[in-house]
A and B are shown apart, each in its own frame.
Chain A
């Protein structure tokens, strides 16, 4: 007799943790490539630094906790954390910035809470916040876009810049970025618009400043487009749900649209907000972290919308140019509350009873 199970689909997606992590990392590749194209090989050097640091840290902490090292390390979650952190720090930041951040992300934010699945906060973003408040100068000095620079740095010089804070000729990052083109600073578009507006310029004046593209800053808009592409692939591969990215983007778009209608002089507008800074990276790769994000569908909508709104409020009224990391870490704290109030109704319970 042939025993077949026909009813109930019994479909297994064959997704393991490491497979999911690898898919997410693969989806980051277009973004990383575009970022490398615009900001130089520094991006890849930071990535290597972060990967080495998280591997060593994770192995050391697991050894301290007397756990098996390879099974936890090879699930890839630590490497994904390293990747997200490495593309968030400025490409030519000193090496110790990335190393401290990667160590903090794994040792304090992830392993002290009990490892993967127990961490309250998104490790990469908590580490980014730590770095931002500890080393504000290093963390806001993005190198100028390669296209507008008259002389590019060689690979060796970028190495030297990261490891010794100056090239072999003794040029520091600060000096280099002000010398290559007149008047350009190493601030990101979000940063320079914010500064100009606070100095009394209108947004149009600020945008016509050298180093700006048509929509959201040269380079930055393509970086964001690349991450959008990767994010759409993640949706297609069913690694993430649509709820968080969509509600994040809609809420940020609505908030900036309303702001633009009210004060067109000091508001850069919706497209600028959506395609500048870390918006797309945050919406698809960071806010969707399965551990620290909300787990119910309604909760995901609320969580994403709250992050979008927080990002807008901090970008526009706060002291920092970008706010994805802050918004994600703040909303991580609200996740248990959101989840508590958005539990879906179990079949046969609730409703009218």
Chain B
């Protein structure tokens, strides 16, 4: 049980793929211009991660060590294809707006990183949980970054959510404030870099505060007798 909890902490905070490992930056920076896109890609990555972790873990004892990487890539690619076809079928609008970044999930290092570092050494149950938590951590960062950029860039949240969730979701669109001129830099790639940098900084600040809060005040040093370092005679 404690292992599950530690995996949960690792995935969503301590070893977050986006904020700490800094893996999968390409999709992270490219598609987070709106919450909808970010959430779409986050969920797709999460599903692929869970599937690939499970499969890799199941076959881990039969895969020769020398060719494990190609095998992992094949497994991941198979799952990505499944996700891509599913998105093509059920969320066509989102499929079009994410474009090349869906097939590019194959190259997301966070996924092969988990396959190599965790799933190939652990039982299927733990691997699925790990994939779920890592994917959740990744999707959360995507979500927050997407929300920041959409809010700054065009003043809305969940714009175009119907692409992801079906027609009813168009009511989710919140216009927080409206301005005549878009703050373009938030939507352009530089905004993604700046936003991610600020998120990482915020995480470090929180960590630092937790650390100082929990730190046991060092016991007051009582000055002992001065050590003699020179010989008397």
Listed in ascending order, the chain A residues whose CB lies under 8 Å from chain B are: 100, 108, 130, 133-138
**Contacts of A138 on B, CB cut-off 8 Å?**
181
Query: Count of A-B contacts with CB under 8 A?
Result: 18
Cβ B194 vs Cβ A108 within 8 A: yes
Q: Quote the shortest CB–CB distance from A260 to chain B (angstroms).
A: 35
**Contacts of B186 on A, CB cut-off 8 Å?**
134
Q: List 18 A-B contacts (CB under 8 A).
A: A100-B183, A108-B194, A130-B185, A130-B190, A133-B184, A133-B185, A133-B188, A133-B190, A134-B183, A134-B184, A134-B185, A134-B186, A135-B181, A135-B183, A135-B184, A136-B184, A137-B181, A138-B181
B188's closest neighbor in chain A, by CB? A133
Query: Please, how many angstroms separate the alpha-carbon atoms of A262 and B166 in the complex?
Result: 59
| Interface SS of A by simple majority | helix
How many of chain B's residues touch chain A, expressed as a range? under 10
| Interface SS of B by simple majority | helix
Listed in ascending order, the chain B residues whose CB lies under 8 Å from chain A are: 181, 183-186, 188, 190, 194
Query: Please, how many angstroms separate the alpha-carbon atoms of A47 and B188 in the complex?
Result: 28
Query: Please, how many angstroms separate the alpha-carbon atoms of A130 and B181 in the complex?
Result: 14
A137's closest neighbor in chain B, by CB? B181
Query: Please, how many angstroms separate the alpha-carbon atoms of A130 and B186 in the complex?
Result: 10
A100's closest neighbor in chain B, by CB? B183
B184's closest neighbor in chain A, by CB? A134
**Contacts of A135 on B, CB cut-off 8 Å?**
181, 183-184
**Contacts of B188 on A, CB cut-off 8 Å?**
133
Q: Quote the shortest CB–CB distance from B196 to chain A (angstroms).
A: 14
Query: Please, how many angstroms separate the alpha-carbon atoms of A137 and B180 in the complex?
Result: 12
Q: Quote the shortest CB–CB distance from B222 to chain A (angstroms).
A: 31
Q: Quote the shortest CB–CB distance from B188 to chain A (angstroms).
A: 7
Query: Please, how many angstroms separate the alpha-carbon atoms of A130 and B189 in the complex?
Result: 12
Query: Please, how many angstroms separate the alpha-carbon atoms of A102 and B114 in the complex?
Result: 43
**Contacts of A130 on B, CB cut-off 8 Å?**
185, 190
Query: Please, how many angstroms separate the alpha-carbon atoms of A323 and B181 in the complex?
Result: 23
Q: Which of B183, B184, B185 has the most CB of A within 10 A?
A: B185
Query: Please, how many angstroms separate the alpha-carbon atoms of A133 and B181 in the complex?
Result: 12
* Extra pairs beyond A134-B185, A134-B186, A137-B181 (15, CB < 8 Å): A100-B183, A108-B194, A130-B185, A130-B190, A133-B184, A133-B185, A133-B188, A133-B190, A134-B183, A134-B184, A135-B181, A135-B183, A135-B184, A136-B184, A138-B181
Q: Which of A134, A135, A137, A138 has the most CB of B within 10 A?
A: A134
5 nearest interchain CB pairs? A134-B185, A134-B184, A134-B183, A130-B185, A133-B185
